[in-house]
Structure 1
Amino acid sequence: MRYAAIGDSFTEGVGDPQPDGTMRGWADLVAIGLAQAHGSVEYANLAIRGRLVEPIATEQLDAALALDPPPDVLTFNGSGNDMMRPGWDAARIEELTRRVVDLTAEAGVRLVLLSGPDPTERLPRGRNFAERADQLMDIVDRLDAAYDHMTFVDNYRDPEMRRAAYWDADRLHLNPLGHSRVAARVLAAMGVETDLPVAPEGDAGRPGVLAEAAYVGRYVLPWIGRRLTGRSSGDGRVPKHATWTTIEAPAA
């Protein structure tokens, strides 16, 4: 089985660091789960943090479909970075999303399109993000109803994943538990039953003034600085698995 993933930091695995400094994330966990089900799997992950949906739906998609041999299944997520920037254009987002859906259908590749979980309760300007996310969900719902080769994994409307227990300290990326929950939901959609991780009851309360100020200084201001200077967290980065990598089933 050949599985390819395209996307941004969510699919790259940011928030799930390994001891060697690399990021794992839900897509790697999906590849491991598929290997457990099938004995082994060929895996490519072309996602790069900070990417807008246009390069995901063009450059990354074209590279994934050009892999030799081509993928059997492809996961696609995008638009999260677009939602946080000026110039949101829902019509263009739909056009690019349709490109992914149409080209995978033409290539005979099964498409698993997934939304990221909802981070809006703890984000600055979260309401603006939510309005754009609702528009994206409307787009995906229409596509999901129209195409047989596509499976939609709706993490955005999973209320469990709005809890702080699934999120990294930056409040934008998932932590290891969050990535594990997404991986389990994707594997289930692919027909591989996996235990669904659930956080223990009880979340930490709202941060105090000093903690909130520290958060802004550590995460929000650097993000604003990159936007003002036209930089991206993904500048200079390359995909972690640009070609097929064999993933063997883990030992029992």
Structure 2
Amino acid sequence: MSDRHPWSRYVAIGDSFTEGLGDPDPTAPGGNRGWADRVAAFLASRTDDFAYANLAVRGRLLQQVIDEQVEDALALHPDLITVSAGGNDIIRPGSDPDEVASRFDRMMADLRRDGADVVLFTGPDVGMTPVLGMVRGKAAIYNEHLHAIALKHGAMVADMWAIRGLRDPRMWAPDRLHHSPVGHATIAAAVLDTLGVDHELAPSTPEPLAARPWREARAEDLGWAREYLVPWVVRRIRHTSSGDGITAKRPHLEQIGTGARDGR
């Protein structure tokens, strides 16, 4: 590994995972920081010429990422692209991981056409997560497709499924759908590892949680369902999205500060 890197124009595309939901920061564009901002800030700290754009928007399905973000990303002439997409498709009832992967494959050919290095993400193991745990099998199939797609196109894989620490509840925001600040910091470290860039961002290893009484855990589950699950289901029924009316938080390549060097 090296503390130097060859990239100067980084563009991130995708959905809420890349937008940074779950990692609120009132000083960041869009009000969220996230792993991509952290990675960009660290990479910027290792070179005098570095610019970053983040086109990701919460709630976006794979086809929306393809239609709304891919060409805009390529128009910025990046030499590094990160892409996480398809997860929102996989968690929808009736979706086919083989079909979603086929579209991802075609998207990857476009992302690689100008020679940019590309990092894609497998989904984390959601077996312990309410509701999302029901699609664990589909997610695993999709992940296997993503590994094959990366091999086919010469892309790098940030393997979220392999990070067992992401199974810790403290890695997740209260909505249990997005990662917490410590989760985003852990993912940022994993992305830098994938890029082969030496860094000081240590993955978080929290102390084990104390066992909670059954009644307390169930009451928390019910509160979560009222506050987060029901609105999510209602949006599915109404065919609306949390990203309606939201635009990219960093639509243009810009120089950024290096305050995320320590990952905090």
User: So what's the TM-score if we normalise by structure 2?
Assistant: 0.88
Cα distance between partner residues in 1 of 2:133 and 2:114 = 37
Contact 1:33 1:192 in 2 (8 A): no
Q: Percent identity?
A: 38
Q: Does 1:12 align with 2:24?
A: no
Q: SS at 2:179's partner residue? A: coil
Match of 1:227 among 225, 236, 247: 236
Task: Point out where structure 2 has 5 or more consecutive residues left out of the alignment.
Answer: 1-7
Per the TM alignment, residue 118 of structure 1 is displaced from its structure 2 partner at its CA by 2.4
Per the TM alignment, residue 177 of structure 1 is displaced from its structure 2 partner at its CA by 0.5
Written as runs of structure 1 = structure 2, the 5 A alignment for 1:80-99 is 80-99=87-106
Cα distance between partner residues in 2 of 1:211 and 1:198 = 24
Q: Does 1:50 align with 2:59?
A: yes
2:178 paired residue number: 173
Q: Which moved more, 1:135-144 or 1:3-12?
A: 135-144
Question: Which residue type is aligned with residue 169 of structure 1?
Answer: P
Cα distance between partner residues in 2 of 1:203 and 1:79 = 32
Per the TM alignment, residue 40 of structure 1 is displaced from its structure 2 partner at its CA by 4.2
2:258 paired residue number: 249
1:105 paired residue number: 112
1:153 paired residue number: 158
Q: SS at 1:88's partner residue? A: coil
Contact 2:38 2:260 in 1 (8 A): no
Task: Point out where structure 1 has 5 or more consecutive residues left out of the alignment.
Answer: none
Cα distance between partner residues in 2 of 1:178 and 1:250 = 18
Contact 2:23 2:33 in 1 (8 A): yes
Change (3 A) 1:125 1:103: closer
Q: Does 1:138 align with 2:155?
A: no
Cα distance between partner residues in 1 of 2:114 and 2:132 = 39
* Count of aligned positions: 248
Contact 2:66 2:107 in 1 (8 A): yes
Question: Which residue type is aligned with residue 221 of structure 2?
Answer: E
* CA root-mean-square deviation: 1.9
Deviation per CA, 1:203-240, whole angstroms, max 9, x where unpaired? 25465222211111000001111111111000000000
Cα distance between partner residues in 2 of 1:236 and 1:83 = 23
User: So what's the TM-score if we normalise by structure 1?
Assistant: 0.92
Written as runs of structure 1 = structure 2, the 5 A alignment for 1:109-120 is 109-120=116-127
Q: Which moved more, 1:170-179 or 1:197-206?
A: 197-206
Contact 1:185 1:196 in 2 (8 A): no
Q: Which moved more, 1:58-67 or 1:178-187?
A: 58-67
Q: SS at 2:31's partner residue? A: coil
1:29 paired residue number: 38
Per the TM alignment, residue 100 of structure 1 is displaced from its structure 2 partner at its CA by 2.5
1:192 paired residue number: 197
Contact 2:126 2:132 in 1 (8 A): no
Cα distance between partner residues in 2 of 1:138 and 1:197 = 24
Change (3 A) 1:251 1:121: closer
Per the TM alignment, residue 251 of structure 1 is displaced from its structure 2 partner at its CA by 9.9
